[in-house]
Amino acid sequence: MLARGSTIGILGGGQLGRMMAMSAVQLGYRCIGFAPEGDNVAAAVCDAFHTAAWDDSDGVRAFADACDVVTWEFENVPVETARTVPAEKIHPGPLALETAQDRLTEKRFIEGLGGRPAAYARIDSGHDLESAVDRLGAPGILKTRRDGYDGKGQWRIASSRDAQALKLPDVPLIYEGFVEFDAEFSVILVRAQDGEIRFWDSTRNVHEGGILAAAHYPAGSAVEGQVADARVLARKVADALNYVGVLTLEFFATHEGPIFNEMAPRVHNSGHWTIEGAATSQFENHIRAIAGLPLGDTRTVAPGIEMRNIIGREIDGAYAFLASSNSHLHDYGKAEASEGRKMGHITRLSLDTRG
């Protein structure tokens, strides 16, 4: 168990790190961050912040030496950076990053545990793409195997003609067949150092332009009938990785059951509602897990919840959301409100079933 006043290090400087640090401070810990130069909004709630390149091994070691435990706030922290931190200090372990950072590796890992991803094909050439479209059909999505996020690094392929016309980027790619689905949902869990696992309720997730727009609870019958099977897979993933902390798996709800979409080895945007809507938020439980503290209750505390992201210039009018007394605003403090950038979120609790 991490002693009161100990220091937690966070790799990454974004809003997820900011909200983790806020929970850590509430529990009596200090936080320091590490990230390259940028709009590192987590720095505002950290005791110190180390600004250096991810491949600055001396800088990473100095950061790790100042910490009692280290975690990360997004899945594109380089694996070698995480491995520079002593293994006994970092939770979750770097294997989770390595698995999630390559979509091909991730899908094969899921299949090995009995999960079902969308039909896919490895793409190394234009010929590979044309063959994949012939075999898996179109429409489909061509994705970079690494680094894609919020719809970036993705191309919709509507026909074999699109495949033939596209100039492929010189990076590893994967083609995913189209999935007919009724809804999208997340399974978010927290796993303690002793292997205990707790789940939050699943929300129905709504995406716009490849970005999560909103998460709704209750999720509706299309999702609720598939959560149990999805949780079985999520538990297998967490145990196989000997995972410690909050882990998220995203799914499509289909007439054939849950189809795995992708994994995020971290706290997740679709779980932001847990700050006000659950007995213990995903951020607090992540800190509890990596610190070796008892896990908190994950039950939902309101009959109806909506979490909505505030994108780009919407942040200028965000205070208007507070006209509803059951709304809670989270402004991430980002300096530039560029198009498609997540600037904050609003969570609205319905305190009765009519809400």
How many whole angstroms separate alpha carbon 63 and alpha carbon 352?
47
For residue 148, say whether it is annotated as part of any ligand binding site.
Answer: yes
Q: How far is CA 130 from CA 40, 144, 174, in A?
A: 41, 16, 12
Q: At what angle do helices 103-112 and 227-240 cross, to 10 degrees?
A: 110
CA count, 13 A, side-chain hemisphere, 256: 11
Q: Are 288 and 296 in contact (CB under 8 A)?
A: yes
Strands 69-72 vs 7-11: parallel, antiparallel or unpaired:
parallel
Angle (CA) 48 54 58, round 5°: 75
For residue 178, say whether it is annotated as part of any ligand binding site.
Answer: yes
Burial of residue 275 (CB within 10 Å: 0-12, 13-18, 19+) is buried
For residue 285, say whether it is annotated as part of any ligand binding site.
Answer: no
For residue 143, say whether it is annotated as part of any ligand binding site.
Answer: yes
Nearest 10 degrees: Cα torsion 103, 150, 329, 350: -70
Q: Are 129 and 142 in contact (CB under 8 A)?
A: yes
How many whole angstroms separate alpha carbon 224 and alpha carbon 211?
23
For residue 151, say whether it is annotated as part of any ligand binding site.
Answer: yes
Residue 263 pairs in a beta bridge with 249
For residue 153, say whether it is annotated as part of any ligand binding site.
Answer: yes
For residue 103, say whether it is annotated as part of any ligand binding site.
Answer: yes
With the C-alpha atoms ordered 260, 266, 271, 274, is the resulting torsion angle positive or negative?
positive
Of 285, 284, 287, 247, nearest to 268 by C-alpha is 247
For residue 184, say whether it is annotated as part of any ligand binding site.
Answer: yes
For residue 149, say whether it is annotated as part of any ligand binding site.
Answer: yes
For residue 152, say whether it is annotated as part of any ligand binding site.
Answer: yes
Of 174, 167, 178, 180, nearest to 140 by C-alpha is 178
For residue 177, say whether it is annotated as part of any ligand binding site.
Answer: yes
For residue 196, say whether it is annotated as part of any ligand binding site.
Answer: no
Q: Which residue numbers belong to the known binding site for ATP?
A: 103, 143, 148-154, 176-179, 184, 207, 261-262
Q: Which residue numbers belong to the known binding site?
A: 103, 143, 148-154, 176-179, 184, 207, 261-262
